Amino acid sequence: MILKNIIDCISVLEQETFSDAWSRDSIEDTLKQDYNVVYSYFVSDEGHSVYRISKEQDILVYSKPYDGDWTIKLISWEDFNVCDDTNVGAVDTLPGRFGGYIIASLIGDETELHRIAVVNDLRGKHIGTNLLDFYMEDADECNRYFLEVRESNSIARALYEKQGYDELAIRKNYYSNPTENAVIYEYQR
């Protein structure tokens, strides 16, 4: 089941990346909320693909061969497979090697990026930038974008600033394991 496989990949990367990692159940619960969205990135011999998964909309698949342009395809939930063994025609294998993900909320004209992570040995290959681009383009109806990041995470902070995010505030001692300030960023259209 492809959705189960994607959630498994996100869960493993979540545990490897964050000291305050979300559980697999938390990730599944997040996907059950109408306003949440997950972008998962895959790399294959043919190129790249990003799956946009949201409970309230059909699945959007962005694909790009190595020598071509990005294309968009819409897949209905019925054709995608929602961890249901009765859906015999559903795809059950991942579309390549899992490279990373974003979890975000889209509520009204605001959006908040909750999680972004890239597989360790694929960092530096623009996967984080591509994911952030897809998220920001997909949430184009939003006027304000928010996110928070550990103060010491200079790589992520550089990415956000390069994408046009501005530092909004510092949340003292927000993170634990280790205790650290969070920097809140905002992007306005």
Q: pLDDT tens, 146-178?
A: 999 999 999 999 999 999 999 999 999 999 989
List the catalytic residue out of 51, 160, 165, 175. 160
Could you confirm whether 148 is annotated as catalytic?
yes
- What mean pLDDT value characterizes the chain? 89
Q: Express each pLDDT in 117-153 by its tens digit.
A: 999 999 999 999 999 999 999 999 999 999 999 999 9
The distance from CA 37 to its chain's CA centroid, rounded to whole angstroms, is 8
Q: Is the pLDDT of residue 85 over 70?
A: no
Q: Which of 41, 51, 135, 148 is catalytic?
A: 148
For the chain, what are the domain ranges? 2-140, 143-189
CATH 3.40.630 applies to domain 2-140: yes
Q: From the centroid of its chain, how far is CA 101?
A: 3
pLDDT > 50? residue 189: yes
Phi, psi of 108 (to 5 degrees): 60, -125
pTM here is: 0.89
Distance CA 138, CA 106 (A): 10
